[in-house]
Amino acid sequence: MARFGILIAALTVVLSACAPTSSTDGGNGAVYRIRNSDEAKVQFRALDSVNALRKASGAQRLTLDPNLTAAAATHSRDMSVQNRPWHFGSDGSSPLDRVERAGYQGQLVGENISETYENEVETISAWMQKPDTRNVVLAKDARKMGFSWFQEPNGKIWWTMVTGS
């Protein structure tokens, strides 16, 4: 267990070097802003971070899936509208409902969500600190990933990661 903690700490330091330099502090100073032109960079930085963690745990690499990403984007915006981070949509939809609506043909493995001012690497690092969300990141049967967000004008970001087989 100590080895796993050391691994996570080392990966966090390594992965933080890949993150943008904007700081985040919940609105008390500089806020991490995601420009529309940064969408691909943010998604691939998240994918690279997740794959580095998966490699360290012996899990297979993931690839980005446009349908899972569409489901993640829809849910991120909907969480903002509801003003609460939870796995159910304002229409009562579940993660399974959303990936099916988005046209994903595989099986849903899991969904991670977050309401934060932190960047994508810090958010993934936070997910690695809790067993349930860590299990979604490292799920052995996952092969695909969707990753998206919605950023409010005040800088708050609603993150969603969806994995599928």
Going by pLDDT thresholds of 50, 70 and 90, the confidence category of residue 149 is very high
Listed residue (91, 130, 90) closest to 110, CA to CA: 130
pTM (whole model) above 0.75: yes
3-state SS track over the chain? CHHHHHHHHHHHHHHHCCCCCCCCCCCCCCCCCCCHHHHHHHHHHHHHHHHHHHHHHCCCCCEECHHHHHHHHHHHHHHHHHCCCCCCCCCCCCHHHHHHHCCCCCCEEEEEEEEECCCHHHHHHHHCCCHHHHHHHHCCCCCEEEEEEEECCCCCEEEEEEEEC
pLDDT in tens, 56-69: 999 999 999 999 99
CATH fold, domain 51-164, is Pathogenesis-related Protein p14a (3.40.33)
CA distance 139 to 106: 15
Domain residue ranges of the chain, discontinuous segments joined by +: 51-164
Going by pLDDT thresholds of 50, 70 and 90, the confidence category of residue 90 is confident
- The whole-number pLDDT of residue 35 equals 86
Going by pLDDT thresholds of 50, 70 and 90, the confidence category of residue 139 is very high
Span 137-146, average pLDDT: 98
